[in-house]
Amino acid sequence: MATPTLNLEHLAGQRLMVGFEGINLNRDLRFLIDTLKVGGIILFAYNLSAPAEIKDLCASMQQYAALCGLPPLFIAIDQEGGQVARLKEPFTQFPGNPAMTGPQDADHFARVTAKELNDLGLNMNMAPVLDVAPEDTDSIMAGRSFGTTPDWVATMGSRVIKGLQQAGIMAVAKHFPGIGRTTVDSHFDLPFLDIGLEQMVATDLRPFASAIADQVTGVMLSHVRYPQIDPDWPASLSIIIARDLLRKQMGYQGLVMTDDLDMGAIRQYFDMRTAIQRLLQADIDLALVCHKGPDIETAYETILQKLTDNPDLKRRGEASVQRILKFKQKYIKI
């Protein structure tokens, strides 16, 4: 992949991973690519049809990005298995992380899933879930977590990460720094988890430390507020959690991304411009805006404005896009 020359508009667009409506390269999708110059597209059930049509969609997106002189696109999907699996039959259906009984199950899931994603032209899986769901908590993640103990979650997550990435699919560990103890769904409201960093290091953070050691491509931040760590901001907008804890203290050098900024935990409390300014300051590489609407353009325009007006954010933005391009170079073969 030849590295294109990137101006400020490219630097802004590459920081966005967005959703769209439709099953083909329609007008909206072309606008996202040619005008907003987005770095990635995430697919949901309403974008998916027959396997041949999904493959054609992915190929047409990459061809159009190349025609526009852009780097190849991250094309992502949530394919955890079980409760969260966008690809339905005829694709392989797995019972989900809680049903896995040993590393051989994780290896099988990763191998089969990677092949199916590769065959379609997808290159990133928003998995594995590394949240630990304690037995004594009515966890929102009980149906999606590998289990109740940090070591087990770390072991299983590690196998999934290695299996996906060895087969050419970028893995994204989620939801940092851990939402297994929460009982409120961040799709609808802003949860909080009132425990200290020391307790999280001993439990919730251990699977993520393992993922970092395994060189996981991406880490997705949660829309949860941890008041003993950052009293003001959820993890997805937190300099303390994203930059200081994840990058500096834990040494993570891969891609950091938000969860969907359209979710209720963010939309009800923060406007898009504020959210974007925060994530730029926190060295978060990718903003996920997963639904069609004006927020995608607002996010792009805000990034562009901040990079234009603030030399420090421009310097940080250039470093972020270099990380993005490094992983595109490594994983995306067009």
- At residue 192, the pLDDT reads 82
**Is 4 inside any structural domain?**
no
The catalytically annotated residue of 28, 187, 232, 271 is: 187
CATH number, residue 132: 3.20.20.300
**Is 292 inside any structural domain?**
yes
**Domain ranges, residue 211:** 13-102+117-331
Instruction: Look up 259 and say whether it is catalytic.
Output: yes
Q: Which residues, at least 6 apart from 311, have a Cβ–Cβ distance to it below 8 Å?
A: none
Alpha-carbon separation of residue 180 from 138, 236, 273 (angstroms): 9, 16, 29
Instruction: Look up 187 and say whether it is catalytic.
Output: yes
Q: What is the pLDDT of residues 143-202, one digit of tens each?
A: 999 999 999 999 999 999 999 999 999 999 999 999 988 876 667 667 788 999 999 999
pLDDT at residue 246 greater than cutoff 70: yes
* Residue 178, φ and ψ in degrees, nearest 5: 125, 130
List strand residue ranges (DSSP E) for 86-183, in order.
124-125, 170-176
Number of domains forming the structure of the chain? 1
Q: What is the pLDDT of residues 265-309, one digit of tens each?
A: 788 899 999 999 999 999 999 999 999 889 999 999 999 999 999
**Is 155 inside any structural domain?**
yes
**Is 199 inside any structural domain?**
yes
**Is 146 inside any structural domain?**
yes
- At residue 148, the pLDDT reads 95
Q: Pairing relation of β-strands 79-81 and 84-85?
A: antiparallel
- Nearest-angstrom CA–CA distance, 198 and 195: 8
The catalytically annotated residue of 230, 259, 260, 262 is: 259
